[in-house]
Amino acid sequence: MQEASSLPRADLTSYTGGMKILVIEDDREAADYLEKALNEVGHTVHVARDGESGFVLADNGEYDVLVVDRMLPKRDGLSLIAGLRSRGNETPALILSALGQVDDRVTGLRAGGDDYLTKPYAFTELLARVEVLKRRSGSKDVEMIYRVGDLELDRLSHVVKRAGQEVTLQPREFRLLEYLMRHAGQVVTRTMLLENVWDYHFDPQTNVIDVHVSRLRGKIEKGFETPVLHTVRGAGYMLKAG
Amino acid sequence: MFARLGATMRTTAARLSALYLLLFAACAILLVFYMTSLSGRMLVGQIQNTIDDEMNGLGRAYQRGGLNALVRVIDQRSRQPGANLYLITDPSGRILAGNVESLQPGVLDQAGWTASPFGYQRYGEDGRNARLGDEPTAATDASGAMHLATALVLRLPNDMIVMVGRDLGEPERFRQVVQRALIVTLGIMSLGALLIWFFVGRAALRRIDRISDASQRIMGGDLSGRLPVEGTGDEFDRLSENLNQMLTKIATLNEGLKQVSDNIAHDLKTPLTRLRNRAEAALNLPPDPNEYRAMIERTIAESDHLIRTFNAILMISRLEAGQSTEVITTVDLATIAADVAELYEPAAEEVGVELHLDIAQGATVNGNRELIGQALSNIVDNAIKYSAGAGSGATKVVVGLTVANAEARLWVRDSGPGIPEEQRERATERFVRLEQSRSQPGSGLGLSLARAVMAFHKGRLDLSDANPGLLVSMVFPAGEGAR
């Protein structure tokens, strides 16, 4: 019972906070909820209620991440993002939409969006994606070796070592660990894993992803003292030293 | 009647016949004018030739016998009946011989051909033969009837004047006849056009009326109604046939839409009711934060389930309605099978089911990787669920790909209880969960989604007996999967 009682708010202490986020959403209640919830984990949030003022704010302000509703009054979300991109503004943008077909997602990403989340969504899912987006604009892509504590992954030779000891992984397990390590210190949800490691965008209804993660965990933690692959209650997983 | 006539006048047929009538009449008038002026010119040319010949004859007489002979010949010829005119005067203008009594003034002043027809009066006729003199153009001289004529005037060296002419009555009469014929013809034509206009227009109007009536009935709500087709194969029939096809298409779409909304209403009301009941029950609980918390958690879980169900219904409906715009590319079925098997293998192992892959031969189809992947996941998920429940010895699920008879079959064989043959058709229907599966978790949409995905790919979903267990096959027409 004690375990279950912490479920709905998830383990929000796992999140980093401290980002400057612009939420462009016309639904007052949804916007207020996002503002409050993002504030609670330590982010600074500005809200715009239509596409035009959102565009002006996004273009002038130095935001870390934009959260953009796809259907907005005055100017729709996709045109807003495309407009920003054409002005050289590369602020990472998460598109929120009620349209959830594969081609809707494709159009959204083609317009310059960096991630796409279908409404209704769980706040933990949104939060995880927003935090990952910020890091994406960093320079993780050029690093050839990822290190988290005594865990080491060589992206070129595909060799994984824990405390200098080689760990043998299946190709998919390697990709799973690579994704987790790229976003070390950040919460990664099950859908994010299915999207990024398997390249499928449907909802993993059963525990398929969890089983993959626990297999991986077995390989990188078995025989070692400290856990590195943590389960974040109500949200997903996080790779973190200690 | 007049209103009806007014309506007739407004029809396209009437407007077209009026236009044709106008154009035709204009052409006819032009043609007649051209013909009359051409034949008029020919007649005048002939007359001038005759006059030239006469003048030459007179000239020969003059050469042979001098002035006297000339006067004599002119006098002689003047007495002969005919249309020719002769006149010879002395230098003072006195008439020496001829059959012309008076002339329009000024005709003799200039030598050569007279520029235009002129009026004259024959010697010894003043009004007696007035019938021919009715031409108003010739009635310049008030004293009596004048005839129209053309003439050649010759001035002799001694200032005597010789004139030979010819009456123009004949070409004039010809022109009159042609004009009258023209007027009569135009009259008959107009009358005919009016009649055709009236009857054709009315016939067209009647058919359009019938089409209008039928469309009004259809608009009034009778969507099964169709426009009349008379079997003549003309423009009206083709129009009606096309509109009828459109109506059929609309009716199909409409039916699909109705079914979708019915299904959504039915499929969502049940879990919504459950959700509401749970919230209501929570209100009746003793006020304990932990109890509330647990209740809210269950409510969120229920909502998530509802959202998933809703997404699945939406997806199935869009696929079934053929309104999906998903991207079609060339997809490799073997890769999808391997991916899905790999995705589910650990989960299967977890519940004691062995998941195998059996791919003899690769196959590519035109389709959507995401949709096929999701459909196959649903089938594999089901297979694992029911095989795990079977619990007798080695339970196995095999994901395979076979190509035969121009078909690619992506299949999943489980070692579960299977589905009795008579229930297989129902198993793929929306929300049907067969009796023996009630105890298993699931929305009941997995197979219906797979079936919708296969319909989208112009293929089919086959359920058959694997002895024991169930064999579910996604059958693609090889080479080209979807539109």
Minimum-distance CB partner of A101 among B304, B326, B343: B326
Residue A121 reports pLDDT greater than 80: yes
Asked if A100 lies within 8 A of B327 by C-beta distance, the reply is no
> CB of B154 within 8 Å of any CB in chain A?
no
CA distance A45 to A31: 10
DSSP state of B322: T
Given CB atoms, is A106 within the 8 Å cutoff of chain B?
yes
Chosen for mutation from A119, A191, A200, A214 (greatest number of chain B CBs closer than 10 Å) is A200
Task: Please indicate whether, in this complex, the C-beta atoms of A205 and B326 are within 8 angstroms of each other.
Answer: no
Q: Which helix (H) or strand (E) holds B97?
A: strand B95-98
The answer to whether A211 contacts B339, with C-beta atoms less than 8 Å apart, is no
Dihedral-angle region of residue A233 (phi above 0 means left; psi in -120 to 50 means alpha; beta otherwise)? beta
- Strand partners of residue A48: A24
**Tokens 């579910």 label which residue?**
B472
pLDDT band at B304 (very low <50, low <70, confident <90, very high): confident
Residue B303: HSE in the Cβ half-sphere, 13 Å Cα cutoff: 13
Chain B interface includes A201 (CB < 8 A): yes
**pLDDT attached to residue A174:** 93
pLDDT at B138: 39
User: Does B134 have pLDDT greater than 80?
Assistant: no
- What mean pLDDT do residues A8-13 have? 52
Partners of A106 on chain B (C-beta within 8 Å) are: 327
Q: What is residue B191's predicted lDDT score, i.e. its pLDDT? A: 85
| More reliable by pLDDT, B386 or B397 | B397
pLDDT level of residue B443 (50, 70, 90 thresholds): low
Record: contact A201-B318, CB cut-off 8 A: no
Q: Is the pLDDT of residue B442 over 60?
A: no
Q: Give me the pLDDT at residue B270, please.
A: 76
Can you name the CATH fold of B14-174? Beta-Lactamase (3.30.450)
Task: Give me the interface pTM, i.e. the ipTM.
Answer: 0.82
Nearest Cα to Cα of residue A121 among A95, A103, A140: A95
- Judge whether residue B145 has pLDDT over 60: no
Stretch B124-138: mean pLDDT, rounded?
42
Q: Are B353 and B397 in contact (CB under 8 A)?
A: yes
pLDDT over 70, % of chain B = 80
Residue B133: what pLDDT? Answer: 37
Q: Where are the beta strands (DSSP E) in B41-83?
A: none
pLDDT digits (tens, 9 = 90+) for B242-251: 888 888 888 8
Contact B296 A120 (CB under 8 A): no
DSSP code at position B70: H
Q: Does B370 touch chain A (CB under 8 A)?
A: yes
Residues 6+ apart with CB under 8 A from A116: A94, A95, A97, A104, A105, A108, A109
Per-residue pLDDT at A206 exceeds 90: no
Lowest mean pLDDT among A143-157, A175-189, B87-101, B365-379: B87-101
Using CA atoms, how far apart are residues A239 and A146, in angstroms rounded to an integer? 12
**Partners of A189 in beta bridges:** A236
| B190 vs B267, higher pLDDT | B190
**CA–CA separation, A167 vs A152, rounded Å?**
10
* Residue of A23, A236, A203 whose CA lies nearest to A100: A203
What percent of chain A is predicted at pLDDT more than 70?
Answer: 88
Name the CATH code of domain B326-476 (choices 3.40.50.300, 3.30.565.10, 3.30.70.141, 2.40.50.100). 3.30.565.10
Residue B480 has what pLDDT? 47
User: Which of A 202-241 lie inside 8 A of B, CB atoms?
Assistant: 202-203, 205-208, 211-212, 215
Residue pair A58/A24 in contact (Cβ under 8 Å)? The answer is yes
Contact present, B272 and B278 (Cβ < 8 Å): no
The DSSP annotation for chain A comes to -HHHHTTTT--GGGS----EEEEE-S-HHHHHHHHHHHHHTT-EEEEESSHHHHHHHHHHS--SEEEEESS-SSS-HHHHHHHHHHTT----EEEEES--SHHHHHHHHHTT-SEEEESS--HHHHHHHHHHHHHHTSSGGG-SEEEETTEEEETTTTEEEETTEEE---HHHHHHHHHHHHTTTS-EEHHHHIIIII---S---SSHHHHHHHHHHHHHHTT-SS--EEEETTTEEEE---
Residue A240, token pair as written in the block: 């973190």
Per the rule left: phi > 0, alpha: psi between -120 and 50, beta: everything else, B431 is left
Given this model, what pLDDT does residue A95 score?
A: 92
Write the CB contacts of B454 (distance below 8 Å, at least 6 apart in sequence).
B375, B460, B461, B474, B475, B476
Least-confidence region, from A10-24, A78-92, B33-47, B60-74: A10-24
pLDDT the model gives residue B6:
61
Q: What is the DSSP string of B359-422?
A: ESS--EEEE-HHHHHHHHHHHHHHHHHHHHHH-SSSEEEEEEEEEETTEEEEEEE--S----HH
- What distances in angstroms separate CA B83 from CA B36, B80, B124, B132, one per listed residue? 21, 9, 15, 13
- Segment B119-135 shows an average pLDDT of 50
Whether residues A5 and B290 touch (CB distance < 8 A) is answered with yes
Least confident of B8-17, B140-149, B288-297, B461-470: B140-149
Within 10 Å of residue B444's Cβ, how many Cβ atoms?
Answer: 18
Q: For residue A7, list chain B residues with Cβ-Cβ distance below 8 A.
A: 297
Distances (CA, A) of B271 to B299, B310, B337, B441: 11, 11, 33, 14
Chain mean pLDDT for chain A: 83
Range B54-62 contact pairs with CB under 8 angstroms and sequence separation of 24 or more: B54/B84, B54/B86, B54/B164, B55/B152, B55/B154, B55/B162, B55/B164, B58/B162, B58/B164
Cβ burial, residue B363 (10 Å; 0-12/13-18/19+): buried
pLDDT-derived band of residue B146, with 50, 70 and 90 as boundaries?
A: low
* Residue (of B480, B188, B220) closest to B363 by Cα position: B480
Q: How many CB pairs under 8 A join A and B?
A: 66
Cβ contacts of B294 on chain A, cutoff 8 Å: 1, 4-5
pLDDT band at A94 (very low <50, low <70, confident <90, very high): very high
Higher pLDDT, A203 or A190: A190
pLDDT, mean of residues A187-202: 89
Which two tokens mark B409?
Answer: 């079959």
Please report the pLDDT score of residue B149 as a whole number: 78
Average pLDDT, chain B: 77
Quote the CA–CA distance of B455 and B461 in Å, as a whole number: 8
Q: What pLDDT, on the 0 to 100 scale, is given for residue B57?
A: 86
The verdict on a CB contact (< 8 Å) between B326 and A208 is no
Two structure tokens written together for B445: 């949409």
Q: Domain extents for chain B?
A: 14-174, 326-476
Q: Which residues of B touch A172 (CB under 8 A)?
A: 342
Query: From CA A98, how far away is CA B155, in angstroms rounded?
Result: 110
Task: Give the pLDDT confidence score for residue B103 in this predicted structure.
Answer: 75
- Residues from chain B that touch A6, judged by Cβ atoms under 8 A, are none
Residue A177 pLDDT > 90? yes
